[in-house]
Amino acid sequence: MRRKLLLTLITTLTATGALADPLTDADEIVARANLAAYYGGSDGRSEVRMIISDAQGRQQRRQFTVLRRDIEDAGDQQFLVVFSQPSDVRNTVFLVDKHIDRDDDRWLYLPGLDLVKRISAGDKRTSFVGAHYFYEDVSGRRPSEDHHALVETTDGTYVLKHTPIDPQTVEFASYVTWIDRNTFLPMKIEYANAAGKLYRRVEVFEVEEIDGHPTVTTSRVSDLLSGGQTDMQFRYIKYDVGLPKTVFTERSLRNPPADRLRRPEK
């Protein structure tokens, strides 16, 4: 109920035109969207539940906690991802040092094999643990990797078209984003392949204001070719929790920081 109310509030704000004059610079819109989507507060925590469905509706679930710490707004960031469900992958951990000027550093811990591995920078547009989300969707794509063009500005939305600077590194030929003019959150993204065919869609269904930050709480990625989809729920979100640097070290791989992973009080 509370969520619905917030969403309505946001939409109403948008509709009543309590907005500043629209921006016209695509790069600026993208920069603001990048901040809104990935850099809320100076750090944050969130629990993610993914329901991965194939075309037949067969489900797999994943549940993990994401801890994030910004080194600099719109700059380098650190992520610690700790799995809790299903129990056979519990305590599998990803650690990501996201860099703006060079490849990210990524580590992986697999408790079942008692193994810490560094993951080569390689390709970030691979599935994230079998979901229709990509690694890159978790940590965010660098705005500098695409050309951006403002296609349309409607009452509430900026519509932008993005084309990759290096098409060899990605599977898409272009993608279009629908960015909320008020929150600067991308509400829908559609990817087209070289044949010009839409093959992938990201949609945001619910946005809540948490600690003053409009935050996506429900979203979905659809694979339009195979018919599969992944639904994501983000919960127990908190910003500016004061995560220290020490949380984002290799030590946390084998020993996830239990106190930091605990859910915030109701």
Binding site for another protein (CB under 8 A): 49, 51, 54-56, 58-61, 63, 84-90, 92, 108, 110-113, 115-120, 122-123, 125-131, 135, 168, 171, 194-195, 223, 225-226, 228, 236, 263, 266
The least CB distance from residue 142 to another protein, in Å, is 19
Rounded to whole angstroms, the Cα distance separating 203 from 219 reads 5
Other C-beta atoms lying within 10 Å of the C-beta of residue 162: 21
Choice between 61 and 147, CB closer to another protein: 61
The least CB distance from residue 21 to another protein, in Å, is 43
CB neighbours of 64 closer than 8 A, spacing ≥ 6?
Answer: 47, 48, 81, 82, 83, 84, 85
Tokens of 50: 């993914």
Cβ–Cβ < 8 Å for 35, 73: yes
Rounded to whole angstroms, the Cα distance separating 230 from 91 reads 22
Choice between 138 and 179, CB closer to another protein: 138
Choice between 29 and 131, CB closer to another protein: 131
CA separation, residue 59 to residues 8, 210, 229, 232 (Å): 31, 29, 10, 13
Choice between 171 and 206, CB closer to another protein: 171
The least CB distance from residue 128 to another protein, in Å, is 7
Choice between 73 and 235, CB closer to another protein: 235
DSSP letter string, 69-80:
EESSTTS-EEEE
The least CB distance from residue 132 to another protein, in Å, is 8
Strands 105-110 and 115-119: antiparallel
Choice between 31 and 110, CB closer to another protein: 110
- For 98, the 3-state DSSP assignment is strand
Choice between 115 and 151, CB closer to another protein: 115
Residue 247 phi, psi (nearest 5): -65, -30
The least CB distance from residue 205 to another protein, in Å, is 18
The least CB distance from residue 87 to another protein, in Å, is 4
The least CB distance from residue 141 to another protein, in Å, is 16
**Which alpha helices (DSSP H) does the chain contain, by range?**
2-15, 26-38, 135-139, 251-254, 258-261
